[in-house]
Every structure is written in C-alpha cells, then in structure tokens.
Amino acid sequence: MITYQLVIEGSYFSSASFDKADFTPESLICVDQSGIIDRVISVSENDYQTVKQAAIDNDILKKVPSGSYLLPGFTDLHIHAPQWPQAGLALDKPLNEWLNTYTFPLEAKFKDLNYAKKFYQSLIKELLANGTTTGLFFGSVDTNANLVLAKICAKLGQRAFIGKVAMDNHDQTPDYYRDETSQAALSETESFITQLQKLQQETGADLTPVITPRFVPSCTDETLQGLGDLAQKYNLPIQSHCSESIWEDQYAIDRFNLRDAEVLAKFGLLTDKAVMAHGTQLSDSDLELFEQKQTAIAHCPISNAYFGNSVMRVQAAQQHHVKVGLGTDISGGFSPSIYRNMQQAIMSSQMLQDSGQANTRLSASNAFYLATVGGAKALHIKSGQIKAGFKADLQIVQDQYFELSSNQASEIFERLVYHTNKENIKQVYVAGKLVHNNQGENNGK
C-alpha cells in the first residue's frame, strides 16, 4: 500500500471543461510523497473506510469542515513583483505617466536587497493567502533582487516562474533604470538563468527561469533576437506584453511595419512556452498566429480596465484554440486575488457583449477554468484539477453564506466564485504541503 503524506476528506469543485465545473461529494483525496494526487476515492468505493482509517492512524487525515469545499489552487500568469508596494496607486493616470512617474522609480529601488526582501516576503504571503499556488513573475532589471524573490518563493512554498526583466532601448527607458547595452541585458539574463537553476537544484523548490523582454518598445532589435536565442538554447518559458494598448500596437507598426505579435514571432519570442499578457488589441490574424505558435495569453481583466483600451476577447481566443489563463498584473491591477479577477473577467465580458460583439460573454465556469486549468496549461504544469496524476495544489474555501443560501452545488459554486475573499480561504497546499493556514493553531487537523 502506498504511503501517503496527506489524505483530505471533503467535497470539491474542479473544471471538467471550459464550460463546466464538476461538483464531487464526499471523497478522499490521497496525496503521495512527491505531492501528486495518487487517488480520489469516492465514499461508495470498497476501501474508502480502510484508507480513511489508515490516514487517521498515521495522523495525516485532514477533514474539510461542513460548509467548506476543496478547490484547485490558482495560477497567476502575470505579476510584476517589484510593483507590489504601489498596488492601487495612480491608476487614474495615463500609462506613460504611470510608468515614468511611479513604476520605474519604484522598480529601481529593488537594487536595495533589504527593501526587496521586505516587499517580496509580503507579496508571496499575500498571493498564497489568496489561493494562488503558482505565479509567473516579472522581476526587476537587477539579478540579485530577482534571486531574493526566488529564495523567498522557495522558503514560503510558492511555485514560481521568474524572469529578469530586459529593457535596453534608451528611447523608451529611463537612464536610471535599464540595461545599459544589449550585451548587458543578455549576459545578465543568462547569469540569472544559471543562478536560478543552481538555486532550484540546491533547494529542491519548484523554480523556473523565464525569458522576459519587458515589451517590444523597451528592447532593441539585438536584445529581442538575443532573448529569442536564449529561450531556444535553454528551452525556457518566455513572458512579455503583447497588444496591451492602442499605443503599444501602433508603436510596433511604426517601428517595424508589423503588428506586435508579428514582431515577437519574428524574434523567436512566440513559442508554445510563451505567455503574453493582456492581448486586448489582438486581431483575428494575431489569434491565428498565437494558435499556430501555441502561445498562451494572460488575461488581466482588472488591469485592462485601466490601461488596455478594450476588453480581451476570451471567447474568440477559445475558438482559435489559444490557451488563456488569468493574471492579476500587480500593480496595473490593484488586487492580488484571482477571485477578484474572475469576477472582473465576467463583468468585462458582459460589457463586450453589450457593445455589440456577439458570443463574448463569460460564465463563472469559464472564469474558473481560466484560473485553474487555463493557467496550468499555459505553463505546462499538471495542476489546476483535482484528479489522479495532478499536483496537489489545493485550497480549502469556506462558503460564508452556507447556512443562509441554497445548498445546490451549482449555486454554491457561483457563490464561491463571486463571494470568496482572503478570510474565507482557510488552508492552501502546494504539492501537498501546507503553505497557508487560516484555521488557528491546530493546523487544521
């Protein structure tokens, strides 16, 4: 008999498809020593009581309380880690002013590693407390600060994909915060890759380096090409922004006589391991290119309401078989909660529908899929679902209106999507390890 590290008894919700979230009543979720769900045993199966008793005897049974439910952990596909101190600040300003007056000066402060440690510690704790088990992070220009972020993720148990930001175009970046040359941008990126890989081997933490051109305007041609070459050399994920705004789209056309997506493809930066943020201005031909390259989109609905000049067409991306997940875009988005972004994704899609674009509306099931399965597929990790063979990335969530409202599964699910806040997230597990506990000193047992 397999020795488990954890057995959770409870009812759960998990996406069956883009349009459907399944509810499964009382089950045992059995997590093996490597953090993978080995079995999900329904109460009707013959060995349910035997496995449960063995878990009790070994003090590894966790019972989900009545009125609470097990959900997969969330993947956040777009986080600017050094922007956490300004979340919610100056969102009424134009993008250019927001970047140059607030954002770039803030990111430059992270050269101070004590400053970096303080805020990265706060950010990672906050993300875990909000049910985010995997994060895709833009770091800063500074390699050492990015390694501080990685060490904190390792210590606190966050699965992290982290990129050293490359930005060397002197026309579009401030003199106090940039890579001075293309050679510096590329050598520092490669240095970060090798150091993070070494840290991953030393700690055993789930850390992955990511090739990260800030976006097309901030990089020279030489840097864009060099980053594409590094992604191929090391077989790494890539992250950037694509068609986030009318200005960004037009910039690519003016400089290259190509659309933003075409520029990224030209330099080898649209791959099946690439995640491009926002995409509010993506055309049908862009989506066809994304489909061809198997590139994913990080949909950031809160941020897009401020800076995107439009609503990202999730349903159109789905029809093109383009992978889509959710991102908070700290701090273009003010909230570290994927729940809050699920809600905004649904609301924004209704506005798109009301503007006359047919078949654009999203449901709670659609948004939940993006938060779980969509994000995991974008990063090629077997997570986001509660089923055998998947990583035990889990959250135990309290339905705060359990005693007042309907107990029909479909209505419980919608309440969880629309009403869950940080206080309702009682425990969070990454690969079967408890990384956040909001249940008091008894550790939830």
Give tens-digit pLDDT for 171-214: 999 999 999 999 999 999 999 999 999 999 999 999 999 999 99
Judged by DSSP in three states, 2 sits in coil
270 domain residue, yes or no: yes
Q: What is the pLDDT of residue 405?
A: 84
Residues 126 and 228 in one domain: yes
When pLDDT is averaged across residues 332-361 and rounded to a whole number, the result is 96
Residue 152 lies inside a defined structural domain of this protein: yes
Specify if 96 maps to a domain.
Answer: yes
Asked if the structure places residue 389 within a domain, the reply is yes
Residues of the domain holding 257: 74-376
Shared domain for 261 and 183, answered yes or no, is yes
Q: Is 70 exceeded by the pLDDT of residue 347?
A: yes
Would residue 129 count as lying in a domain?
Answer: yes
Residue 190 lies in a domain: yes
Confidence of residue 439 (pLDDT cuts 50, 70, 90): confident
pLDDT in tens, 59-80: 999 999 999 999 999 999 999 9
Same domain, 187 and 272: yes
> Does one domain contain both 272 and 371?
yes
Q: Where are the alpha helices (DSSP H) in 210-245?
A: 221-234
Which of these three, 345, 376, 407, is where a domain ends? 376
- How many beta carbons lie within 10 A of that of residue 408, not counting itself? 10
Tokens representing residue 408 in the block: 């029909």
Q: Which of 357, 376, 395 is the last residue of a domain?
A: 376
In a shared domain, residues 64 and 80: no
Same domain flag for 221 and 339:
yes
445 part of a folded domain? no
Q: What does the angle CA 387 – CA 389 – CA 391 come to, to the nearest 5 degrees?
A: 80
Q: Do 284 and 397 fall within a single domain?
A: no
With bands split at pLDDT 50, 70 and 90, how would you rate the model's confidence at 312? very high
Report the CATH number that the domain containing residue 401 is assigned in CATH. Answer: 2.30.40.10
- pLDDT, tens only, 427-436: 999 999 999 9
What pLDDT sits at residue 240?
98
Confidence of residue 440 (pLDDT cuts 50, 70, 90): low
pLDDT at 18 over 90: yes
The mean pLDDT value for 382-386 works out to 98
Percent of the chain predicted with pLDDT > 90: 96
| Distance in angstroms between the alpha carbons of the first and the last residue of the chain | 23
Q: Is a pLDDT exceeding 50 seen at residue 444?
A: no
Mean pLDDT for the chain overall: 96
Q: Is 78 found in the same domain as 16?
A: no
Shared domain for 162 and 204, answered yes or no, is yes
Residue 1: pLDDT band (50, 70, 90) is low
pLDDT beyond 90 at 266: yes
pLDDT tens profile 231-240? 999 999 999 9
Residue ranges of E strands in 33-72: 37-42, 61-63, 68-72
204, 341: one domain? yes
Q: Are residues 94 and 51 part of one domain?
A: no
Report whether pLDDT(392) > 80. Answer: yes
CA distance 16 to 387: 10
For residues 179 and 328, membership in a common domain is answered with yes
CATH, residue 279: 3.20.20.140
Quick one: which H or E segment has residue 13? strand 4-17
Number of domains the chain is built from? 2
Query: DSSP assignment, residue 85?
Result: G
Task: Look at residue 400 and tell me if it is in a domain.
Answer: yes
Domain end, chosen from 376, 400, 427, is at 376
Query: In which residue are the tokens 């397999």 written?
Result: 2
